[in-house]
Chain A
Amino acid sequence: MSSNGIPGPPPDGDVASVAAERGPLAMEAISLGKDFRLGRGAILHAVRDVSFNLYRGAATALVGESGSGKSTVARLLAGQERLTSGSVRLDGQPVDVSRSRAFRQYKSKVQLVFQDPFSSLNPVHTVSYHLERPVKLRQDKHSRQEVSQETAALLEQVRLTPPGQFLPKFPHELSGGQRQRVSFARALAARPEVLLADEPVSMLDVSIRLEMLSLLDDLRRRFRLALLYITHDIASARYFADEVLVMYAGQIVERGPAEEVTQHPAHPYTQLLVASAPDPDNLGSGLHAGSGAERRAENTGPAATGCPFSTRCPLADDRCRRDNPALQRVSATRAAACWRLDAAAPDVLAEPQGGGL
């Protein structure tokens, strides 16, 4: 795996991204790495050699369990954390966090939506305050009329209508779904190219989630946003993403078109993730028959050497425990990081190879 971070060829060189069909390249994450010092000399490799591209108008899902590093990737891309290694490019330009003016521009092009709409809005300010600030700062609109027109338009875009009813409200007067809409509107106020949505619906009620994801989908199309949808819910990624990246212990272990990855997962971890999702068609049987004893895996964290999943993987052999596998091409649009793909996913490997790039 290339770890030198030299800008140039697209980082996902060996497989084509289905997201590229949606629009031009917006953002490149090139071999991102992030270490956290834990004290006593211990280092946590939160993100290791993560590369992917985001394209205008396309949704890319980053799926993983808590602690897999998916939120850290979003924070790295948003410039909220310093990279330990690797680089980020926006519209072909390397991102320079040391020059404040360029970085401010970058921040308005790359917006982040957080998981918790209860803590991401300031409780002492109204909705209009939350929206006016980015409008003034990022769109450089200052006349009172322009600003109020723009904030009203933003609320209409996120379907908070009539806007006049919501502008004077404080966050505590809004439901969770309405608050998250305000967060979306605030992100849109900066006219972003890239929207990084970190678990945008997992705090919301189930009956509202779908509506919010549809809204996000609609905004992506309307504003040709390059959307990174970070989630632990692989089923929603199936419906709302073009491409899925599966992360485990800071690494991308599988990537490919959403439908293929969720229906025919190649990596053993993706297979476990898919098998663990609630399955309404499996009334009672799965849980009642399942003997949890063999599958109890949470006590064993990721392996320090070799494949991080080797401690939990039923197929792991000596090689898996010794060497960390790189992402390797499975088909024209899919890649997985696993030494035992022949055993894990013979059906995926058997598919015609699609004729290369």
Chain B
Amino acid sequence: MSTDHGAAVPPAGPHPRGAAEPVLAISDFSVVYRTPDGDVQAVNRVNLELYPGQVVGLVGESGSGKSTLAYGACRLLRAPALITNGNVRYRGRRSVAPMEILHVHADDLRRLRWREIAIVFQSAMNALNPVLNVRDQLVDVIHAHLRVSRQEARDKAGSLLEMVGIPRSRLRSYPHELSGGMRQRVMIAMALATEPEVVIMDEPTTALDVVVQRDILSQIVELKESLGFSILFITHDLSLLLELADRIAVMYAGQLLEFGTAREIQHEPAHPYTRGLLNSFPSLRGARRELAGIPGSPPDLHDPPSGCPFLPRCGYATQACADIDMRLLPVASSPDPAHVTACPFVLPGTPAPPGPAGSPAATSTGS
């Protein structure tokens, strides 16, 4: 891929904090959905930074606000969604000055989208136009954002397909002639058409089989390493992120509850919710463990509880939890100041108390 903008090629791999400017910095970001019954606080004062070359995973249940956060940061949300607070600063290698995404003019925003920040949407079946063949859809994207001739755009469409592992001969195929995995690859090719610096991937492999999923993910990692973009990877599957991401942000009820490296999240999870999530996956390898899951369900964001939103489901909850300020603070026992948690009471390794008042979903399977 050509980098004819004179920018230095960044070193591959994750940057430690402070070694570079973040390419995308979301700060104090809030989104509400205006409804007749009042506001739904979908995203609540979220801070998230993505450094060049990094894969940041954003994990949460449906309704946790993870997609709203990502789309909101690109100003892709429409009414009734309303951004009520915050800043999103984009600083690319190609752009001269940092850009405040929430304040730029519509023309600049148009240049920013796709050219600098591209999105792979969740459901490839619905995201592709069923009546256009793959080539025409790729050419559309290329023409919309790059000044190239028709022939150049067609050539580029072919090389993009090859890049994601689909033979050039499939250019004339329509979406229904492709398997789910191939459609998702086309979406990825489309996102990479303009060599963006940030790619937001919203559950790109959720509908796919595990074998295909692994295949596509390893290809995404390869492409990331050769092209040098950064990824914000949104998923509900924490076990996937542990393998894929450099850093993982855990989101719940519109707030970030924990942010740390994949290793920290796996081995020293600080927040009780993170621990619950880790305990929700039946493991295929190793000894059979007692699976706990997380009893209960997320709070109603029409009427969010005060204090910690995880309180009703939390096994560690105390009276103080109803009053705490949900601020991310460094984990006291961690040597890494960037490992932050919203729970000031529970340290990694604190033994789990006996289940909460409700019935714990503990299961002794197979007996």
Contacts and interface: CB of A to CB of B under 8 A. Distances in A.
Interface of A: 65-66, 159, 175-177, 205-211, 213-214, 217, 232-236, 238-240, 242, 258-259, 262, 272-274, 276-284, 286-288, 290-293, 295-299
Most buried by A among B62, B276, B285, B286: B285
Contact of A299 (B182, B243, B283, B284): B182
Interface stretch (B3-11, B70-78, B210-218): B210-218
B217 A280 contact: no
A65 B209 contact: yes
Given A208-B297, A298-B212, A299-B182, A278 B291 contact: no
A257 to B, nearest CB: 10
Most chain-B CB neighbours within 10 Å: which of A177, A278, A281?
A278
Interface in B192-242: 209-219, 221-222, 225, 236-240, 242
B211 A283 contact: no
Contact of A206 (B213, B237, B244, B284): B237
A287 B244 contact: yes
Given A234-B284, A291-B218, A242 B366 contact: yes
A276 B208 CA distance: 12
B221 A276 contact: no
Interface in B165-214: 165-167, 179-182, 209-214
Q: Which of B166, B182, B278, B283 has the most CB of A within 10 A?
A: B283
A217 B359 CA distance: 15
A143 to B, nearest CB: 32
B280 A209 contact: yes
A278 B241 CA distance: 9
Given A239-B291, A273-B210, 19 more contacts: A65-B212, A177-B297, A208-B61, A210-B292, A234-B210, A236-B282, A239-B288, A258-B366, A259-B366, A276-B213, A278-B242, A279-B285, A280-B239, A287-B221, A288-B225, A290-B218, A291-B218, A293-B165, A298-B179
Given A276-B214, A278-B237, A287-B218, A211 B361 contact: yes
A288 B221 contact: yes
Contact of B282 (A235, A290, A298): A235
A288 B244 CA distance: 8
B263 interface: yes
A251 B236 CA distance: 31
24 contacts: A65-B210, A65-B211, A66-B209, A206-B237, A206-B277, A207-B61, A210-B282, A210-B292, A236-B282, A258-B366, A272-B211, A276-B210, A279-B284, A280-B243, A280-B283, A282-B243, A283-B243, A283-B262, A284-B243, A284-B246, A287-B221, A287-B243, A290-B214, A298-B215
Contacts of B181: 298
A296 B215 contact: yes
Interface string B144-160: 00000000000000000
Contacts of A175: 297
A217 B367 CA distance: 10
Interface string B320-359: 0000000000000000000000000000000000000001
A214 B242 contact: no
B365 interface: yes
Given A278-B240, A298-B215, A66 B293 contact: no
B263 A295 contact: no
Contacts of A242: 366
A251 B284 CA distance: 23
Which interface residue of B216, B237, B242 has the most chain A CB atoms within 10 A? B242
A67 B181 CA distance: 13
A286 B218 CA distance: 8
A124 B181 CA distance: 35
A277 B218 contact: no
A55 to B, nearest CB: 15
Contact of A207 (B214, B216, B219, B294): B294
Shortest 8 CB-CB contacts between residues of A and residues of B: A210-B293, A65-B209, A211-B361, A235-B284, A205-B61, A290-B218, A214-B363, A278-B239
A284 B211 CA distance: 17
A207 B211 contact: no
> Which of A208, A234, A290 has the largest count of B CB atoms less than 10 A from its CB?
A208
Contacts of B212: 65, 298
Contacts of B282: 210, 233, 235-236, 238-240
B210 to A, nearest CB: 4
B361 A210 contact: yes
| Residue of A176, A277, A281, A290 ringed by the most chain B CB atoms within 10 A | A277
A284 B246 CA distance: 8
Contacts of A176: 62
B293 A278 contact: no
B110 to A, nearest CB: 33
B103 to A, nearest CB: 35
B239 A287 contact: no
Contacts of B61: 205-208
Contacts of A276: 210-211, 213-214
B266 interface: yes
Nearest to A207: B294
A264 to B, nearest CB: 12
Contacts of B292: 210
A219 B209 CA distance: 28
Nearest to A275: B214
B217 A210 contact: no
B288 to A, nearest CB: 7
Nearest to A59: B366
B295 interface: yes
Given A207-B294, A211-B361, A232 B263 contact: no
Contacts of B243: 278-280, 282-284, 286-287
Contact of B215 (A236, A281, A284, A292): A292
Contacts of B215: 292, 295-298
Interface string B125-157: 000000000000000000000000000000000
A240 B366 CA distance: 6
Nearest to B292: A210
Contacts of B266: 280, 283
Contacts of B211: 65, 272-273, 276, 297-298
